[in-house]
Structure 1
Amino acid sequence: MEHLQYPNESEGYRIARNRLLEEEIKLRAQIEAVAARRRALPLGGEVPWDYVFERIGDNLMPQKVRMSELFGPHDTMILYSFMYGPERDSPCSGCTHLLDGIDGAARHLTQRAAFHVVAKSPIARLMALARERGWQHMSLLSTAGNCYDGDYFGDTTKLSKAMRLQHSVPVGKNWDETIFNVFKKRNGKIHHFWGSEMAFARPVPGQHHRAGDMADPLWNLLDMTPEGRGETWFPEVEY
């Protein structure tokens, strides 16, 4: 197999790089295989409620909208739970940097599937943040007043006792969580299809519990560098 060669690279560098390239090719195949298995999943459970969310309408006033109306022309919808409840003085910095990256992709994504960001804060507060961040392409919805967050693990309220222990949620305490959930509309009914559950899975020694890296340009770009992500660095809302 022929490989690229950069100016003045050593033979040792090229040998090591070629070996790494082989592993990268294997990883690509594994990612594609996992994605194929994800697409082959049977439909999950039927959504128990036609949840009512709040959004800003075309008249720039808050309006109620049902989950069934959020699909638009599509049969598939992605909802991202954003950790920015009314009890938070500022949004989760991890969620915020992720959404900074996703906003530009949203106008392309919505050619294939509906996409909305949901959070517990009132819609006016969410829109104020969107203006501050310069988000232009994402649809933001408030879940204030519905039970979507608990049902689909955008918060910790419906974790089992064992899951609360595993996830270090103290008795009597709850908080909002970040998770992607995908829904499919078929024959007039809405079904859950997939959720980014790895964040709630049994901890694996030596692995971080993160679950949304595949959608995160920041971490993927840093993984290309010799310094990597760093052991302690984490993005902030403001610098």
Structure 2
Amino acid sequence: MFGPDYTAGCPACSAIADGFDGFVVHLANHDVMLSAVSRAPLSKLQAYKRRMGWTFPWASSHGSDFNFDFDVSFTEEQQREQGIEYNYVREAPLAEIPSRTTADGSVTFAAMSGTDMATYTRERPGMSAFVLDNGVVYHAYSTYARGLDGLWGMYQWLDRAPQGRNETGVWWRRHDEYGQG
């Protein structure tokens, strides 16, 4: 949601967070804790959280391997020379996939996050679930990419609207940016 080299959170991830921010309290009262984790330093996360008016717990994994361990963060070398494996698919090295720069909104989202496309795409969305059982933490579930669609509150509503998603390109903004052109 917020890489260490971003100046603002990812607009797509921010839209997802807008949706889950309100129900965190309901989960907590059902013995489920939701927490976001991003690689940006904690001070950046806290400032952005204040800007967005969010209340959910948000931790920084800056300086750790946490996001790398769950295959949602990648090094420049992996991206440039080896290609990365994300969502159980091996991608070619970045230089070999020029169509990506315009096809999926990465350039637009990178600019909205204050970085370039290569840096932006080294951070990917994912969700993992863990269970604490007798003092031992177990990794119980992970999903990536389109597997996160169910968490996008706005899409659940748009999918049921008369015209559906009715999308043409990147149309959403952070909730505090509508009306700004």
TM over 0.5: yes
Pairwise CA RMSD of aligned residues? 2.4
Q: CA deviation at 1:168?
A: 5.0
Stretches (4+) displaced over 6 A: none
Contact 2:83 2:94 in 1 (8 A): no
Q: CA deviation at 1:180?
A: 0.5
Q: Which runs of 5+ in 2 are unaligned?
A: 96-117
Contact 2:67 2:73 in 1 (8 A): yes
Aligned residues: 144
Among 122, 147, 162, the residue aligned to 1:175: 122
TM-score, L = length of structure 1 = 0.54
Report the AA paired with residue 21 of structure 2: D
Q: CA deviation at 1:161?
A: 5.0
Report the AA paired with residue 107 of structure 1: V
Report the AA paired with residue 13 of structure 2: C
Q: Report Cα offsets for 1:95-121 as digits up to 9, x if no partner.
A: 001101111101111122121111111
Aligned to 1:95: 13
- What does 1:1-239 correspond to in 2, within 5 Å? 83-111=1-29, 112-136=31-55, 138-157=56-75, 163=85, 166-167=90-91, 170=94, 175-197=122-144, 199=145, 210-232=146-168, 233-237=170-174, 238-239=177-178
Instruction: Measure, in 2, the Cα distance between the counterparts of 1:191 and 1:118.
Output: 17
Aligned to 1:39: none
Q: Taking structure 1 as reference, are residues 129 and 162 closer, same or farther at Cα in structure 2, changes over 3 Å only?
A: closer
Instruction: Measure, in 1, the Cα distance between the counterparts of 2:84 and 2:72.
Output: 18
Identity of aligned residues (%): 26
Q: CA deviation at 1:226?
A: 2.2
Higher Rg of the two aligned structures = 1
Q: CA deviation at 1:166?
A: 3.8
Instruction: Measure, in 2, the Cα distance between the counterparts of 1:187 and 1:176.
Output: 33
Larger RCO: 1 or 2 (CA < 8 Å, sep 6+): 2
Contact 1:84 1:120 in 2 (8 A): yes
Instruction: Measure, in 1, the Cα distance between the counterparts of 2:93 and 2:152.
Output: 26
Q: Taking structure 1 as reference, are residues 179 and 169 closer, same or farther at Cα in structure 2, changes over 3 Å only?
A: farther
Aligned to 2:109: none
Q: CA deviation at 1:234?
A: 3.3
Q: CA deviation at 1:162?
A: 7.0
Contact 1:148 1:154 in 2 (8 A): no
Q: Taking structure 1 as reference, are residues 170 and 184 closer, same or farther at Cα in structure 2, changes over 3 Å only?
A: same
Instruction: Measure, in 2, the Cα distance between the counterparts of 1:183 and 1:216.
Output: 21
